Structure 1
Amino acid sequence: MFEKIENIEGALVYHGNMHNRIYFTDADNIDLNVFVPKIKALAKQRNYEKILGRAQESAKGLLQSNGFKVEAKIPGLYNGKTDGYFLADFVSEKRHVNDEKSLKTIESVKTIALAANKPQTDAHFSIPANTTIRKLDSDDFPLLEELHKKAYKYHPNQIKDAAYFSRLQQLNHSFYGLFENNELLVSTILDIHENESNMEIVDFVTHPDYRGQNLSYFLVQDIKEQMKATGCKTVYAMVRATSYGLNITFSKHGFIFAGTLTNNCMVRNTMESMNVWYFKNE
């Protein structure tokens, strides 16, 4: 499986050698004094280099006292009222270091993306002819897997498969695809937290023949419309900090920059920092 997903002391924990990292959520109504030592022990046992957590304001102090540092903040992430934080503990100090070239690129991407920011009332662009967007179900998982195989042809260890999609579906994830003439060109996964009135755009995967055409723009546009219809108050995404295209796309859609997660995950064969962007349904 792409990543192991398990419940530890009531928190949802994702971990594996792929990203050499632990990521936990749903840790707001648990005993952190019990949970934190357990995930630190897990990191040591598996030689993971980073632990990342998403938590409310009430958990921030205890996590910080245990070596975690705030990397991003989303105001009102929880039900539009309580701030949310992404906090990281770098088990390996080298995981926190970026070379000068990467730092310059990350800063350049951020500067250009912020300059492209548009108000939330930005005009709605019509989807290209012969192109449709629809929700995917389990019958579409083979299509999703095939798209991943094409996108990660030379990096097979990063291919998410139908079994992994089924596991995510059990955890209240939804799947959407952009099709042209019935061929799946772009997919995205939404991690929906109904009890928190927020959702995360987990990833975008684009057919290699259609990269650079900014088709993800229309999926983001569609997600914003769904957000309004369902009453979701906040949607957020983690985007490669060196990717001009996606960072500009989110900024153009009125998303707000929340911070950068340093060396957060492996994308193809490179350890990437991720920018966090969020949009609020006012």
Structure 2
Amino acid sequence: MPDTVTRIGDSLLQHGPANRRVYLMHLAQGDEGEMPARLISLAQEKGYTKVIARIPAGACDPFYAAGFHLEAAIPGLYGGEEDGCFAALFLDPGRSTDPKVTVERSLLGSGERERSVAIPEGCRIREAGPADADAVADLYAGTFETYPFPIDDPAYLRRAMADHVRFFVAEADDGIVAASSAEIDPEGRNAEMTDLAVRPAWRGRGLSSALLQRMERAARDEGIRTAYTIARAAWYPVNRLFAGAGYRYSGTLINNTQICGRCESMHVWHRRLD
């Protein structure tokens, strides 16, 4: 059963037994003071072992006072001006370390790179719509054993499409062979580049790069100033993809996400689009 997306006050969060965490995805103005205690109380009540909050830098003090610490930071995440922080609290000390997690030094570049992406012959990149939800969900179901959100559910994808999530696909003669999404925050003028999946027969042919470039173009058209991603630390190809596209390493969320059958640490990468 997927984790639940709900609200405390006017703030948006996800929690549940799959990830065994509370994830504050949007902190509403006015909720700052009481939010750390309410998140911790929810985690204790449900027996979760981590609380993670994505918040503006100016809202961090109440979280730090409650015992949270910084795991990652994105310059200019909010409106291109205020930094965004991923602040974490571990209720089980055993979850707070991951001795296997590393970042390849070769990926830690300047964050400024020019790219030329060639789309494979017989394939085209386009934006997906509600009519594509069944095919996209099937692609995700065949790619991820587990995932933090129910992207293998066509109904969930249709709801996401109606709520500032723009999906893109690579389509060949045999149907949709790759997909991705840009979760647009119009108010914060940022976008999370996520949900990348490519069918095995089409991997290694540049489709992820082409989808990422198309998502960035769409985000710029909406006035988005900062793009970021939360990538599996253990999966070198996805980290190489974003580093090669000019994204810079922002930090690591330790033992954060249930994906592909296990709880994994996640690297955060960011890039300015303006």
TM over 0.5: yes
Asked if 1 retains the 8 angstrom alpha-carbon contact of 2:10 and 2:28, the reply is no
Q: CA RMSD in A?
A: 2.1
Q: SS where residue 43 of structure 2 aligns?
A: helix
Asked if 2 retains the 8 angstrom alpha-carbon contact of 1:28 and 1:56, the reply is no
Amino acid at match of 1:60: C
Asked if 1 retains the 8 angstrom alpha-carbon contact of 2:124 and 2:172, the reply is yes
Distance 2:153 2:50 in 1: 25
TM-score (norm 2): 0.92
Distance 1:2 1:179 in 2: 28
Amino acid at match of 1:113: L
Q: SS where residue 30 of structure 1 aligns?
A: coil
Asked if 1 retains the 8 angstrom alpha-carbon contact of 2:254 and 2:264, the reply is yes
Amino acid at match of 1:189: S
Deviation at 1:192, TM superposition (A): 0.7
Which of the pair is proportionally richer in helix?
Answer: 1
Match of 1:149 in 2: 141
Distance 1:2 1:170 in 2: 20
Amino acid at match of 1:26: H
1:245 aligns with 2:253: no
Residues 271 and 156 of structure 1: CA distance in aligned 2, closer, same or farther (over 3 Å)? closer
Distance 1:128 1:210 in 2: 9
Distance 2:260 2:41 in 1: 28
Match of 2:175 in 1: 183
Amino acid at match of 2:265: S
Match of 2:156 in 1: 164
Deviation at 1:159, TM superposition (A): 5.9
The correspondence of residues 23-62 of structure 1 with structure 2, limited to 5 A, is 23-62=23-62
Match of 1:75 in 2: 75
Match of 1:201 in 2: 193
**1:62-93: CA deviations, max 9, x gaps?**
11111111111111111111111111111111
Match of 2:63 in 1: 63
Distance 1:42 1:160 in 2: 27
Aligned with residue 274 of structure 1, among 263, 266, 273: 266
Match of 2:89 in 1: 89
Aligned with residue 111 of structure 1, among 105, 110, 113: 105
**1:219-272: CA deviations, max 9, x gaps?**
111122223322210010011112211111111111111111111112212221
Distance 1:174 1:156 in 2: 18
Distance 2:172 2:81 in 1: 40
Larger CA deviation: 73-82 vs 164-173: 164-173
Q: SS where residue 18 of structure 1 aligns?
A: coil
Q: Structure 1: any 5+ residue segments left out of the alignment?
A: none
Asked if 2 retains the 8 angstrom alpha-carbon contact of 1:147 and 1:207, the reply is yes
1:261 aligns with 2:262: no
Deviation at 1:184, TM superposition (A): 1.2
Distance 1:214 1:35 in 2: 42
Q: Structure 2: any 5+ residue segments left out of the alignment?
A: none
Distance 1:11 1:171 in 2: 16
Amino acid at match of 1:204: L
Residues 123 and 163 of structure 1: CA distance in aligned 2, closer, same or farther (over 3 Å)? closer
Q: SS where residue 227 of structure 2 aligns?
A: strand
**1:131-156: CA deviations, max 9, x gaps?**
1111111111111111122213x559
Q: Percent identity?
A: 27
Distance 2:64 2:146 in 1: 36
Aligned with residue 125 of structure 1, among 117, 120, 123: 117
Following TM superposition, where does structure 1 have runs of at least 4 consecutive aligned residues deviating by more than 3 angstroms?
154-159, 208-214
Distance 1:10 1:118 in 2: 35
